Structure 1
Amino acid sequence: MTDPDLPQPNPFPGLRRRGFLAAGGAAGIGALALTGCSGTSGPDDGSTGGGARAPRSGGRLRAAFAGGGASETLDPHLGNLFADAARGKALFDKLADYGPDLAAVPRLAERWEPDAGLDRWTVTLRKAEFHDGRPVTAADVLYSYRRMADPRKAYRARASLEPVDLDASRAVGARTVRFVLKRPTAEFPNVMAAFGTYIVPEGAEEFDRRPVGSGPFAFVSFTPGRTTLLRRNDAYWDGAPHLDELEFVVANDESARTNALLGGQIEYAHELSPTTGRAHEGSGAVEIIRLRNSAMQAFAMKTDRPPFDDPRVREAFFHLADRQELVDGALSGAGEIGNDLFGKGYEYYAGGLPQREQDIGRARSLLREAGAEDLEVTLDTSAVAAGFTEAAGIFRDQAARAGVTVHVRPGSKDSYWKDILDSGTLCCYRSGAMPIETHISQRLLTGSTTNATHWRDKDFDALYQQAQSTRDKQDRAALYARMQRRLHAEGGFLVWGFGDWIIGTARSVHGVERDAPANTLDWARFDKVWLA
């Protein structure tokens, strides 16, 4: 998801860029396509055992995020920014969410069970209450899903709910929903865990004055573009939070967030740059937390037009890339190399495929076979995301070693994602964490609406439908592996790396999960965090 980069009032007057640069310097980092903090790990993380501190109750934690200005809303179905997602997670619950490996885990749904055909799913809710004391019911779930699916509204979750026939779905008990699907969908739990699929009370439409959810924190006050104050929900089904209060503050400038953290005005700073992380890691002043494998970094080749309609040219480009050089130069080393596949370390990832390495000789040979020895291509890039312009320059120099001329074309930050979807032939691309199945369905099927590589293959589509119709998980994994072998051999994504997501906290903050990528349950999750 993208940050609109709107000018905002500075909630930290006196913390200007000059002051931060004097303290050590930082480069800005753009926002990802969304992704989650609970338990802890490590010798000084506040977890119990090994002499570490036990959780304690009390206090207010102040967390700074980039925001969206006066247009901000607490409507959980309208959110589109990291700040929206973090506030939504504090106030509301979903039926399911993503674990560290991007597999769906139960939340408001206590359990789910498909029928033999995988097109009927029975979901049983756990006993939970909204902040006003009303129980969460099947009627609330159906109302929420039907609201999100309203074609007249710009609710982000609408696309995720496309497989569900909400007219035919029914409540079959106070806490039981029978979902009817339009086709077999083995990964229906991913639908329940999708971004923005929060459950709200039946009939709820007004959220900015006094939103009522079932989340770990309840509403106190909200000033769009500035602050949101929440208090502990003592009746939360997953256990009352340790914190008394949670305050979200808006700071669009990364240096303002860093300065506020260093100055003790906040305790949690979201989305720090690799430069900032490196400058303060191990300094003792603050804690730097790296959420690994949070952002796929890639070049997207349009497979339906020259020169990339020839699979030999695509394979040649796979061999042009020095992935470690790209990670070191474009991400300042804050990440690890990729292997031309999305989802490294996630459920169903084909980790057994050989790691691609730079091979200029092989690249030259493939280009000769394709009659493209003196190839010239234009690489679209933009400052819309951290490392994009740097990656474009590095890859231009790498390609030159094989006689390929890459012309780097900078684009608008405001319209870049829309511009590259259908125009051009080669572009810089990035994605946040999501299940591999979701990545395939949204980006790699003939009918996918965000198919940036224009990969359209009927046999590939058929494999996906076969996987969705396969009940046995091991058999389904084998089908996903076949699909990934195809993509590794001739797909349109040159995935060169996976970037870290960097968070800064005060030394007094404990309980922040270190092993979860962004966009998962344990990112920006504050009900398990405490202050010591």
Structure 2
Amino acid sequence: MNDARSSLARRGFLIATGATALAFTAACGTGTTIPDAKNAAEGAPKQGGRLRAAFAGGGANETLDPHAANLFVDAARAKALFDKLADFGADLAAVPRLAEKWEPNDALDTWKITLRKAAFHDGKPLTAEDVLYSYRRIADPKGTFRAKASLEPIDLDASRALDPSTVEFKLKRPYAEFPNVLAAFGAYIVPKDATAFDKPIGSGPFSFVSFKPGSSLVVKRNDAYWEGAPHLDELEFVVASEESARVSALLGGQVEYAHELNPATARTHEGKGKIEIVRLPGSAMQGFVMKTDRPPFNDPRVRQAFFLIADRKELVDGALSGAGDIGNDLFGKGYQYYPAGLPQRTQDLDKARALLKEAGAEGLKVTLDTAPAATGFVEAAGIFKEQAAKAGVTVEIKVGNKDTYWKDILNNGTFASYRSGAMPIESHISQRLLTGSTTNATKWQHKDFDDLYQQAQSTRDVTQRGALYERMQRRLYDEGGFLIWGFADWIIATAPTVHGVSKQAPANTLDWARFDKIWLA
């Protein structure tokens, strides 16, 4: 067995030394947070106090049902009150949480999950029946829970509890990356038969005190938490939907933690001493999608030309105010299985013109769909328009409705702004790049590519599986439909009294919004 928190070498793709079996055990009583120099200098954590954290909210219809989580505030509140079987580390590899270990059969279509000793806030022990109930609730065809799609590979009718602490999941097909399902967004474990969440009972580090939808949630320390009690006495989530309101509340002392700042705001306050700016690298992929099933992007030479038109540093500096890293037309920079050895693509306008001429696309005119649906979208569109003009390409920018943008661009148009939060590279491939993927915005549909993915999921050895992922990504690098120009930092701000905030974890990973590890001094 391999310790899931043992060192993994980041060499293009991460390989557990000597790993041929996919059985993992969790370290007991420790989190995955890596202390940085600042936190090490702060000394031992201090106990007590209430931290107030400001997030954008969802209005009066907010719920504490963890399976209904969609917004960042939903995820942060769910993380405080509940647990998942696994979560994602900073490299987006799954690490155990309520699952103490997981073991597949030889065919990789049956997985045995051993639960750790943990209890819900009412003192009842966590059992295999709670896990099965939670997953069946999420997967209910009548429901609309976001994690439903992630659980699709599981045959829940055939899955069973072997004993109170062991779940056997039967899968519909081999799936070597099944731990990614256990860590999926919203896949929280609730007590068996739980249906009401007005006063939720979870197994998380904090327990419920009070909730006012659209306004505030107050929780208190769970002294019996399996991973050790939080440092804080209480935690309050405060809703402030406008960024300016969150920053003003932080500067005015009404809160100690403000989530989601834009780069310009962060630059204004960074280094001034009043608040601390924390940048979480690799949190959001930024780019454009080219639909590979229709002109002009059905010609791979046109796609390759557009790769070479992009000046990535100019896009990161201009659209993200420098708060990020340049991309290389592949998702997941720094994540497990990322092929870091591929050459960094740079702007080459002469070669771009030559490719367009070869494709018979000289004087090309294209429409670029965008909207203020994410930070930097409209700005990046304007920058790329100017870059394209230097290669003889006319880009007409069409600004759409931010509320319907993602639905609008999924099947319509040919060229559009795109963004993605953190997820494993395997999930990105399965959800967006297979012939049957439901969010295939580039319309990349190739049977041989699908077959490589299925071969990877049937491959037990992690080194061999990593080699298959690299083959798929090299193909995408050469002729895919994602022009990925950057990876944006996720930015939060805290009062100087707040300590223990992880600075390595992308948004939506285990150590993001990890309030049980934070303390006040």
TM-score, length basis structure 2: 0.93
8 Å contact from structure 2 (residues 47, 519) kept in 1: yes
1:42 and 1:454 map into 2 onto residues whose CA distance is 42
Name the residue aligned to 1:304. 293
Counterparts of 1:296 and 1:197 in 2: how far apart (Å)? Answer: 23
For residue 235 of structure 1, what is the aligned residue in structure 2? 224
**Would the aligned equivalents of 2:211 and 2:217 in 1 still touch at CA under 8 Å?**
yes
Distance (Å, rounded) in 2 between the aligned partners of 1:194 and 1:40 = 22
Matched AA of 2:253: G
Contact 1:38 1:526 in 2 (8 A): no
Aligned pairs for 1:340-359 within 5 A: 340-359=329-348
The separation in 2 between residues aligned to 1:96 and 1:82, in whole angstroms, is 18
Letter in 2 for 1:489: D
1:492 equivalent to 2:486? Answer no
1:205 lines up with 2:199 in the alignment: no
SS of the residue corresponding to residue 182 of structure 1 reads coil
Cα distance, 1:491 vs structure 2: 0.1
SS at match of 1:272: coil
Counterparts of 1:70 and 1:373 in 2: how far apart (Å)? 53
**Equivalent of residue 449 in structure 2, options 460, 476, 481:** 460
Q: How far did residue 40 of structure 1 move?
A: 5.5
Name 1:441's counterpart in structure 2: 430
* Structure 2 alignment gaps of length 5 or more: 1-30
Aligned equivalent of 2:69, options 71, 75, 79: 79
Equivalent position SS for 1:57: coil
CA displacement 1:262-310 (0-9 Å, x = unmatched): 1111000000010111111111111100000110001000000000000
The number of residue pairs the alignment matches comes to: 491
Name the counterpart of 1:44. 38
- Of 93, 103, 107, which aligns to 2:97? 107
Structure 2 counterpart of 1:10: none
Whether 2:276 is the aligned partner of 1:295: answer no
- Whole-angstrom CA distance in 2 between matches of 1:82 and 1:151: 25
Q: Please state how far the C-alpha of 1:105 moved relative to its aligned partner.
A: 0.2
Select which of 346, 350, 357 maps to 1:361.
350
Q: Name the SS for the 1:165 alignment partner.
A: coil
* 1:505-527, Cα deviation, whole Å (9 max, x unpaired): 00000110001111100001100
Match of 2:178 among 163, 178, 188: 188
Query: Are the counterparts in 1 of residues 88 and 510 from structure 2 also a CA contact under 8 Å?
Result: yes
- Cα displacement string for residues 23-75 of structure 1 (whole angstroms, at most 9, x for unaligned residues): xxxxxxxxxxxxxx973644433x3xxx5321011000000000000111000
Measured in 1, the distance between the counterparts of 2:272 and 2:447 equals: 54
Letter in 2 for 1:168: A
C-alpha distance in 1 between matches for 2:115 and 2:381: 48
The 5 A counterparts of 1:50-199 are 51-199=41-189
Instruction: Provide the rounded CA distance (Å) in 2 between the counterparts of 1:386 and 1:56.
Output: 36
Does the Cα contact within 8 Å between 1:146 and 1:166 map onto a contact in 2? yes
Instruction: Confirm or deny: 8 A CA contact 1:163 1:182 kept in the other structure.
Output: yes
Superposed CA RMSD in Å reads 0.9
Give yes or no for the alignment of 1:529 onto 2:518: yes
Instruction: Give the C-alpha shift of residue 101 in structure 1.
Output: 0.2
> How many angstroms apart in 2 are the aligned matches of 1:390 and 1:529?
35
Give CA-to-partner distance per residue, 1:172-214, whole Å, 9 cap, x none. 0000000000000000000000000000000000002x10000
In the alignment, which of 374, 383, 407 is matched to residue 385 of structure 1? Answer: 374
1:419-447 CA distance string (max 9 Å, x none):
00000000000000000000000000000
> For the residues of structure 2 that align with 1:43 and 1:345, how far apart are their CA atoms?
21
Structure 1 stretches of 5 or more lacking a match? 1-36
Query: Within 5 Å, which residues of 2 pair with 1:8-19?
Result: none
- The residue that corresponds to 1:395 in the other structure is 384
- Paired residues of 2:32 and 2:89 also in contact (CA < 8 A): no
What is the rounded CA distance, in whole Å, between the counterparts of 2:119 and 2:436 in structure 1? 39
Contact kept, 8 Å, 1:275 with 1:332, in 2: the verdict is yes
Correspondence for 1:220: 209
CA contact (8 A) 1:111 1:124 kept: yes
1:7-31 C-alpha deviation (Å, 9 max, x unpaired): xxxxxxxxxxxxxxxxxxxxxxxxx
Which residue, 238, 241, 244 being the options, matches 2:233?
A: 244
Any idea what SS the aligned residue of 1:371 has?
Answer: coil
SS of 1:271's equivalent?
coil
Instruction: Report if aligned partners of 1:340, 1:493 keep a CA contact under 8 Å in 2.
Output: yes
Between the aligned partners of 2:125 and 2:36, the Cα distance in structure 1 is 38
CA distance in 2, matches of 1:41, 1:454: 42
CA contact (8 A) 2:364 2:393 kept: yes
Kept in 2: contact 1:73–1:224 (CA 8 A): yes
Query: Partners in 2 of 1:63 and 1:303 — Cα distance?
Result: 43
Structure 2 SS opposite 1:97: strand
Q: Report what 2:398 is aligned to.
A: 409
1:266 is the counterpart of 2:271: no
* Offset from partner CA, 1:77-103 (integer Å, 9 cap, x none): 011000000000000000000001000
Q: Distance in 2 between matches of 1:422 and 1:388?
A: 19
**4+ aligned runs moved over 2 Å, structure 1:** 37-45
Please, what TM-score do these two structures have when normalized by structure 1?
0.92
Fraction of identical pairs, as percent = 72
TM-superposition CA deviations, 1:334-380 (whole Å, max 9, x none): 00100000000000001110100000000000000100001000000
Distance 1:485 1:158 in 2: 30
Letter in 1 for 2:218: L
**Do the aligned residues in 2 keep the contact of 1:296 with 1:431 (CA within 8 Å)?**
yes
Q: Deviations over 1:217-256 (max 9, x none)?
A: 0000110000000000000000000000000000000010
SS at match of 2:396: strand
Contact preservation (8 Å) 1:66, 1:83: yes
Name the CA distance, whole Å, in 2 between partners of 1:519 and 1:211.
21
Q: Does 1:419 align with 2:408?
A: yes
Aligned partners of 1:222 and 1:229 also within 8 Å: yes
Matches of 2:128 and 2:354, distance apart in 1: 61
Alignment partners' CA distance in 2, 1:334 and 1:412: 25
How far, CA to CA, are the matches of 1:151 and 1:400 in structure 2? 49
